[in-house]
Each structure stands twice: as structure tokens, then as C-alpha cells.
Amino acid sequence: KNEVEQSPQNLTAQEGEFITINCSYSVGISALHWLQQHPGGGIVSLFMLSSGKKKHGRLIATINIQEKHSSLHITASHPRDSAVYICAVLRKETSGSRLTFGEGTQLTVNP
Amino acid sequence: SAVISQKPSRDICQRGTSLTIQCQVDSQVTMMFWYRQQPGQSLTLIATANQGSEATYESGFVIDKFPISRPNLTFSTLTVSNMSPEDSSIYLCSVERRLNTEAFFGQGTRLTVV
């Protein structure tokens, strides 16, 4: 079982739909990242969370530390939101911090 | 935030050759990380590069295959040596700021070995 699991693996939506991507993890963490990867491979950090909820434009991220679960929501989705969304947890180890990544959710938003 | 310039963005290489990927950061950072993302897979850490010391490699990765340089606090290179088609992947560098848990990523290098 992976330490970080995302669902769904693939998601197709119509423009304007509300989208939710889920992330569950099984290890103790100091923070959780939501990342966006575009077809060229480059990655942009959308959010870093250690508790509660953050909002940036049409994107909302929440985390429940007790339940070890986070969600990324996209309101009023748009075709330009099409990308791979990756959940990554940051663990503090004696050798330094370490990111563990989920396998990503491929989102396609159709016009 | 940190701006990371990673080069090249993509390359097609012949098997048996080597490719060096560069990662330049616009500010000093303590730790730099190199990741590989094989097709359809999640990111896997290759090694951690600290300035002034040898890189620390993860299980399954060795220095002879992936030599890393870290000559100063703003620059690092990863070389993929003696390439085979199995090395075709996206390679990414990432940085972590001192006393900061934020992570920043380069644009990625999409490598195809033929």
C-alpha cells in the first residue's frame, strides 16, 4: 500500500463543474503539498498546508490531520485547469525533510 | 518564493551517451533534490545534494550512473550516464529553503533515449 494515495486517478469534467481530488496518507507529516504538473513536466506548487483550509482564486485545499486526509477543490473549472494534480506529504526525518508523492490525478476539463 | 531555471527542457539522446541537466536557483538554498518520474509513475527521489559535500543517493540509484555536482548554494547538475531507453523519464530538481518547509520545482527535463 502506498504511503500517499490519491483518488481518482483520472477525472474528466465539463467546463464549469466543481471538482474534488482526494489524498489520504498513512504517515506522520509536518505539511502537505498540492502540486500541478503540466504536460511538459514542470511542476508548480499550489498549496502547502499543515492544518485547516487555504483558498487561492478558484482553488481550495483542506486538510484533516486527525483523519490523515486532504482535498483539493476547483470551482468553476476551466479547460486550462487540465493537468496532473499531485499530493505530496512532507515528513521530517533525522536526515532532513523528505517529500513522498502520490501518483497524481489526471484532470481533463472539456469546453 | 524561489525561481528555478532547469535546462534543457527536453532532449532526445542516443543510447550509451550522457546528458547533464542543470538547475539554477535565484537565491541561496541549503538542500537541492533530484527526482525522476518514469512514464505513468509518481516522482522518485534520486539524491539529495548539499553544497560542499557528496550527494546522498536513495536506494536503487548510484553515483556512477547519476553523478551530481553542487558547487555552490545556487547551482547543481545531474548527469544521466551511459543512457539506455529505460532512462527515458522526466527529471526534476527541487529546492527547500533553510528553516522553510516550502518546496519549489524546476520546469523538468523530458528525456527520451533512443
A44-64 b/e with 16+ CB inside 10 Å = b? ebbbbbeeeeeeeeebbbbbe
Q: Which residues pair with A106 in a beta bridge?
A: A10, A84
Tell me which H or E stretch contains A8. Answer: none
Rounded to a whole number of angstroms, the distance from the CA of A51 to the nearest CA of chain B is 14
Is A48 within 8 Å of B103 when comparing Cβ atoms? yes
Bridge-partner residues for B105, per DSSP?
A: B94
CA–chain centroid gap for A54, Å, is: 12
Q: What are phi and psi of A65, to 5 degrees?
A: -65, -40
**CA gap B56, B50 in Å, rounded:** 8
Cell numbers given for B103: 518546496
> How buried is A21 (Cβ within 10 angstroms: 0-12 exposed, 13-18 middle, 19+ buried)?
buried
Distance CA A16, CA A22 (A): 19
Please judge whether A41 and B105 are an interchain contact, meaning their C-beta atoms are less than 8 angstroms apart.
no
Kindly state whether B105 is in contact with chain A, defined as any CB-CB distance less than 8 angstroms. yes
- What value does the mean pLDDT take over residues A15-32? 94
What distance in Å separates the CA atoms of residue A36 and residue A29, rounded to the nearest whole number?
Answer: 20
Interchain contact, A42 vs B105, CB within 8 Å: yes
Please give the radius of gyration of chain B, using alpha carbons only, rounded to the nearest integer.
13
User: Which of A43, A52, A106, A3 lies closest to B90, judged by CA?
Assistant: A43
> Could you tell me which of B19, B43, B10, B35 has the C-alpha nearest to residue B94?
B35
B7 CB within 8 Å of a chain A CB: no
Residues from chain A that touch B106, judged by Cβ atoms under 8 A, are 42-43
Give the residue with greater pLDDT, B55 vs A1.
B55
| pLDDT surpasses 80 at A41 | no
Q: Are B10 and B109 in contact (CB under 8 A)?
A: yes
At B112 the pLDDT is: 96
Strands (E), chain B: 4-7, 10-13, 19-25, 31-37, 44-50, 56-57, 68-72, 75-80, 89-96, 103-105, 109-113
Does residue A43 sit at the B interface (CB-CB below 8 Å)?
Answer: yes
Q: Across the interface, which of B33, B103, B110 has its CB nearest the CB of A40?
A: B110
pLDDT at A67: 95
The pLDDT, as a whole number, for residue A95 is 64
CA B71 to chain centre: 14
The mean pLDDT of A20-45, rounded to a whole number, is: 90
User: Is the Cβ pair A99, B103 closer than 8 Å?
Assistant: yes
Partner-chain residue, chosen from B41, B105, B107, that has the shortest CB–CB distance to A40: B107
**Phi and psi at residue B58, in whole multiples of 5°?**
-80, 165
pLDDT number for residue A94 = 64
A72 vs A45, which has greater pLDDT? A72
Rounded to 5 degrees, what are φ and ψ at B104? -125, 140
**Does B26 score more than 80 pLDDT?**
yes
Model pLDDT for residues B45-77, shown as the tens digit of each residue: 999 998 877 899 999 999 999 999 999 999 999
pLDDT at B79: 98
Q: Which pLDDT score, from 0 to 100, does residue A88 have?
A: 93
- DSSP structure class, residue B77: E
